[in-house]
Amino acid sequence: MTAIRTRYAPSPTGDPHVGNIRTAVFAWAMARANGGQFLLRIEDTDQARLVPGSIEAIYTSLRWLGIDWDEGPDIGGPHAPYVQSQRLAKYQGAAAKLIAEGRAYRCYCTAERLDAMRAAQSAAKQPPGYDGRCRDLASAESERRSQLEPFTVRFKMRKTGQTVLRDLIRGDVTFENALQDDFVALKSDGFPTYHLALIVDDTEMRITHAIRGEEWISSAPKHLQLYNAMGLEPTAFAHLPLIVGADRKKLSKRSGDTALLDYVRGGYLPAAMLNFLVLLGWSLDDKTSIISREELLAHFSIDRVVANPALFDIERLNFLNGHYIRQIETRDWEREVHDWAERQLPPSIPRPLDRELLAEVAPLLHERTATLGDIAPSITFLFGDEAPEYDPATLSEKVGGTSEAVRILDAALLALDAVDAAGWDKAAMEQAIRGLEGPLKMKLRKFVSVLYVAIMGKAQGIPLFDSVAILGRERTLSRLRKARHLLE
Ligand code: GLU
């Protein structure tokens, strides 16, 4: 049996988005789970869409996730180069051969003519597609004009019968050849289209399984017919399910499909992201939601990928991220807290930061942080004398009016002022603040929001009793007084 070889073949058109990186995860997992090889190939044939820096972003994204490749532009390999713009002669040779064998033809139609053709088709409510004007040019004439005019090379699709895709995930998918179109295989600038480059490269690089997004499924008949015309055995195909957002529509920027590197900057952990991405279409069984890299590589199989759309549920990602955060060892966690605080606390807070204070607050954060990006906003209030700025209206928002908020602040001031600096600890804070339930005739759950806003500038945050204990007597009382003052 030949070893499995898969590839990730991104186009360098910007920082890769999470939805696209999911394809890399599946192709990589399939190769690794089967003792095969995984390749990285850069598909830069659409020169107009290139974005500088994308290739670096692709490397950084994959490395961050722990995805390694056996052959690729940076490390080379037996089928180098792994960048399509450096392989043009191969595609041009393949196109010339197809022309010589009568399976492709030069097309001299100009962009203007093609536009007019499309407009007429659309006006007549006909399906779009090339009308075949250059399909039957005599070869001598075609040859002669090729010296004088620019041309594309179109593939002659078979227009009768059916083409059947045997998809590993979806089973057989049948396409009517009558609906197929003679597509451009080589553009007038000598660059191939995706279709031709795919066949040439997957063949030469000995890819066994083309794992790609569902958006390519309608192109599959082109690819199968090209393989056939070139006398080549096609790879197996697996079209991964669509990813949809909470609105059940194709994942978009708005529903979370932004650059993977945005998630890195937001404080997601690679283990959580990998776990999350692989569950977008695959599952280990019907119950396991936490899957380590090791388990993934031991158990991934394309048979358990489903065709139904996968829901991109950011809550699930946050849950997984929290789970992996809780696995971090105490020392490492303290380092994370320190690093993220250094990086993200407002520049007005003097550096270096108080390490002891950070170590004190680290355990409180460890229990409840969903993303590392939450660390700095949760602890800003501990630095400086004043609470972070807030809208005074938020003080009374949850307690039904200014007079209630005033009553709560007065009671809290009275109770906390009675605790002296020596006895100012978490237990004393808990006793004093819980003790307000009686006099206020109100549940802690309800009045606590006023204290949160006064102390932290927002209605929720890390545990209040600990926070007030860490903040200390003077700063706590002065913030409560200030809040009281704001309400007057
Ligand atoms: N360059 C294509 C893309 O970025 C690759 C599709 C494939 O994997 O064949 O979508």
Determine how β-strand 162-167 pairs with β-strand 171-176. Answer: antiparallel
> In the Cβ-directed half-sphere of 474, how many Cα atoms lie within 13 Å?
3
- How many C-beta neighbours within 10 Å does residue 333 have? 19
pLDDT at 93: 98
pLDDT at 2: 81
Picking from 222, 240, 258, the residue at the C-terminal end of a domain is 240
Determine how β-strand 152-155 pairs with β-strand 184-186. Answer: antiparallel
Distance between CA 367 and CA 285 in Å, rounded? 29
pLDDT at 76: 98
Locus of tokens 């929001």: 449
Q: Residues with Cβ < 8 Å from 185, sequence gap 6 or more?
A: 95, 98, 104, 153, 154, 155, 192, 193, 195, 196, 226
Q: Ligand 1: distance of its center to the CA of 194 in Å?
A: 8
**pLDDT tens-digit series, residues 10-55:** 999 999 999 999 999 999 999 999 999 999 999 999 999 999 999 9
My answer on whether 51 and 143 are in the same domain is: no
Picking from 327, 349, 364, the residue at the C-terminal end of a domain is 327
Distance of CA 363 to the CA centre of its chain: 29
Percent residues over pLDDT 70 in the chain: 100
Q: Ligand 1: distance of its center to the CA of 130 in Å?
A: 24
My answer on whether 444 and 429 are in the same domain is: yes
Distance between CA 442 and CA 400 in Å, rounded? 12
Q: Ligand 1: distance of its center to the CA of 119 in Å?
A: 29
In a domain, 403, yes or no: yes
Q: Ligand 1: distance of its center to the CA of 9 in Å?
A: 5
My answer on whether 309 and 196 are in the same domain is: no
CA 7 to ligand 1: nearest atom: 8
Q: Which residues does ligand 1 sit against, CB inside 6 Å?
A: 9-11, 43, 198, 210, 212, 216
Q: Is the pTM of this model over 0.85?
A: yes
Backbone angles phi and psi of 7, in degrees to 5 = -145, 155
pLDDT at 62: 98
CA 216 to ligand 1: nearest atom: 6
pLDDT at 458: 95
In a domain, 18, yes or no: yes
My answer on whether 126 and 230 are in the same domain is: yes
Rg (CA), the chain: 31
Q: What is the CATH number of the domain that holds 453?
A: 1.10.10.350
pLDDT at 363: 97
Phi-psi region of 462 (alpha: psi -120 to 50; beta: other; left: phi over 0): beta
Q: Ligand 1: distance of its center to the CA of 10 in Å?
A: 5
Most informative mutation of 22, 30, 43 for ligand 1 (most atoms within 8 A of CB): 43
**pLDDT tens-digit series, residues 87-129:** 999 999 999 999 999 999 999 999 999 999 999 999 999 988 9
Distance between CA 122 and CA 127 in Å, rounded? 7
In a domain, 376, yes or no: no
Joined together, the tokens standing for residue 151 give 């041309």
Backbone angles phi and psi of 475, in degrees to 5 = -65, -35
Picking from 276, 309, 327, the residue at the C-terminal end of a domain is 327
My answer on whether 5 and 45 are in the same domain is: yes
Most informative mutation of 20, 21, 23 for ligand 1 (most atoms within 8 A of CB): 23
My answer on whether 197 and 253 are in the same domain is: no
- The domain in which residue 262 lies consists of 1-75+241-327
Atom 8, ligand 1: which residue's CA is nearest? 212
Q: Predicted confidence band at 1 (pLDDT cuts at 50, 70, 90)?
A: low
My answer on whether 236 and 154 are in the same domain is: yes
pLDDT at 257: 87
**pLDDT tens-digit series, residues 243-292:** 999 999 999 888 888 999 999 999 999 999 999 999 999 999 999 999 99
Which residue in 424, 345, 429, 413 sits closest to 381, CA to CA? 345
Atom 9, ligand 1: which residue's CA is nearest? 212
pLDDT at 328: 98
Size of the chain, expressed as the number of residues it contains = 488
pLDDT at 90: 98
> Are 337 and 285 spatial neighbours (Cβ–Cβ below 8 Å)?
no
My answer on whether 228 and 101 are in the same domain is: yes
Q: What average pLDDT does the segment 383-407 reach?
A: 94
**What angle is formed at CA 170 by the lines to CA 245 and CA 82, rounded to 5 degrees?**
80
Q: What is the CATH number of the domain that holds 301?
A: 3.40.50.620
In a domain, 56, yes or no: yes
Joined together, the tokens standing for residue 66 give 């722990």
Distance between CA 459 and CA 456 in Å, rounded? 8
Joined together, the tokens standing for residue 166 give 């045997």
Which is catalytic among the residues 97, 187, 249, 253? 253
Q: Ligand 1: distance of its center to the CA of 238 in Å?
A: 12
CA 13 to ligand 1: nearest atom: 4
pLDDT at 274: 98
My answer on whether 131 and 183 are in the same domain is: yes
Q: Ligand 1: distance of its center to the CA of 73 in Å?
A: 16
Q: Is 90 a catalytic residue?
A: no
Q: What is the tally of structural domains in the chain?
A: 3
Distance between CA 418 and CA 396 in Å, rounded? 24
CA 10 to ligand 1: nearest atom: 4
Most informative mutation of 194, 205, 235 for ligand 1 (most atoms within 8 A of CB): 194
In a domain, 356, yes or no: no
Distance between CA 352 and CA 333 in Å, rounded? 18
In a domain, 357, yes or no: no
In a domain, 26, yes or no: yes
My answer on whether 115 and 221 are in the same domain is: yes
My answer on whether 228 and 301 are in the same domain is: no
**pLDDT tens-digit series, residues 189-246:** 999 999 999 999 999 999 999 999 999 999 999 999 999 999 999 999 999 999 999 9
pLDDT at 127: 87
What single-letter DSSP state applies at residue 231?
T
My answer on whether 281 and 141 are in the same domain is: no
Dihedral, CA of residue 382, residue 383, residue 386 and residue 388, to nearest 10: -80
Q: Is the sign of the CA dihedral 256, 258, 259, 263 positive or negative? A: negative
In a domain, 367, yes or no: no
Most informative mutation of 212, 222, 257 for ligand 1 (most atoms within 8 A of CB): 212
